[in-house]
Amino acid sequence: MLIVTASVSHAQSSGNEFAIRSSTEFPVAAPSIEPRFVTGQVHMEGLFQLDNILSSGPDYAPFSSLFAEGEVRGNVNFGRFLTINGLVRLEQVRDQRTGGVFVDEALYVQRLFAVINTPPLYFYGGKIHPRFGIGWWATPGLYGTDFDEDYELVDKIGAGIRWDIQAFGRHRFTAEAFQADTSFLSNSLIRDAPFGSPGLKRPSALHLTDGGPSNTGALESFAFALSGRRVVGINGFGYDIGWAKQKASPYDVRDEYSWVVSTNWLFNLSDTVILQPMAEFVSIAGQRGNDRDVNYLTVAAQLRLGPYWTLGAHTTQRYVRDFAADNYYTDWLAGIAVAYDLGEWKDRAPWLEGLSVILGYRYNRVFGVESQTAGMQIKYAVDF
C-alpha cells in the first residue's frame, strides 16, 4: 500500500509563489505513523502561459506565444533506508521568434535516482540534478529566472553524498560527481529538437559527439555546495555557496569553472505581510567549454500581502567577456509581477484550491537588442 509521508524541508517557511521549477532538494524517508514498508508522496504542478512580445527585433516582429509547462515529481520509500526519487518535466525547449500555440514542447525525465538513507548522511546516484545556485528556480517574478537558467546543472548522470548538519541552525553539504546524460533518459518523449538547432535550450537527445561541458562519458565533473537555513541568532537568514567544475569534452576549448554565493532573508513585517529579498552572484570561467567568461548578479524580492496576494520584482546583470570574438558587453533583465491565489474562494468552489493567476512584465537587453514582454500565467498545483 502507498501512503503519504512528510519530509524535512530545507527552505524558508514561506515559499516562492512565482516558482515554476522545483529546487534540487530531494525528499527522503521520514518516520510514518503507519507501519507500512512502502510509503511515498507525489506533487503535480502545471501552467499555461501567454507571452506578448511587445518589441521588434532583428529577426522578429511583435507576436504572442501560448505554451504549457508542468512537473510531476515524487518519491517512493522502501522502508527507512532506500528512496527512489523521480521528476518528469514538460516545457518549451526553444526560444520563440514567431507566434504559436504549444510550439516546441518537450516531455522528458529530468531526475531518476536512488538514495540510501543513513541520517545524517545520504548517498545517492542515477540521473541527478547537481546543486548549484538558487537563482534559476527561486528568483521571483514571471520572468525572474530567464538569465539565471544559464548556469543550472541539469541532465546529469552521477552520484553524490548529502550531509545534513543540525548544529547552529539547519545546514546542508553536498558533494557530487557527474557527467552529461547521453543515455536513453536524455531522450525527449515528444517533439524533436536536434542538437544545434537555433534558439534551442534542450536537445531531444544528447550524444558524446555533440560535445559540451561534462559530456565526457566519465564522472570527471564535480559540484560542491553548502547551504543554511534558520541560522541560530539570525532570524529568517539563509545562504547558499557552491563551486563546480565541468570537464571539457574533446570538442571544447577549455574546462568550465563556476562559483556562486547567494543569500536570502525572510522578514515578518506584520502578522500578514512578509518580505523576502534575495541576492546571488555567479562567476563562470569557460562557459559551455568556450573561451568566454560570464558573471551574473541577481537582486530580487517578493512581498506577500496576506495569504493570497504576492508582489515580485527582480533584476539581473549578465557581464559577458567573449575573448574568442573580442567582444565585451552587459546584458540586463528587469521585471515586476503580481500573483493572486484563487484558493481564497475554495469554500465556494473547492476546485480553486491550488489555482493561481500571475501577471508579469519584463524588460531585457541582450547583445544590445532591447525587448519588452507582458505575460499572464495560470498555474495549478496539487499534492498526493
Q: Which domains does the chain have, with CATH numbers?
A: 44-60+115-177+213-383 (2.40.160.10)
Most confident option among 11-15, 234-238, 240-244: 240-244
Question: Is the pLDDT higher at 290 or at 27?
Answer: 290
- Predicted confidence (pLDDT) per residue in 42-79, tens digit: 999 999 999 999 998 888 899 999 999 999 999 999 99
> Cα(143)–Cα(59) distance, rounded to whole angstroms?
22
pLDDT at residue 189, as a whole number? 79
Q: How far is CA 269 from CA 243, 338, 344, 375, in A?
A: 34, 19, 22, 29
Amino acid identity for residue 197 in this structure? S
Identify whether the C-beta of residue 202 lies closer than 8 Å to the C-beta of residue 155: yes
Stated pTM of the model: 0.92
- Mean pLDDT within 118-130: 97
In the chain, the amino acid numbered 365 is: R
pLDDT at residue 7 tops 50? no
Q: How far apart are CA 113 and CA 157, in angstroms?
A: 9
Note if the bond before 203 is cis, omega within 30 degrees: no
The set of cell numbers assigned to 135 is 537563482
Cell digits for 292? Answer: 568566454
Q: Using only C-alpha atoms, what is the Rg of the chain?
A: 21
pLDDT of 200 reads 85
Specify the 3-state DSSP secondary structure of 305: strand
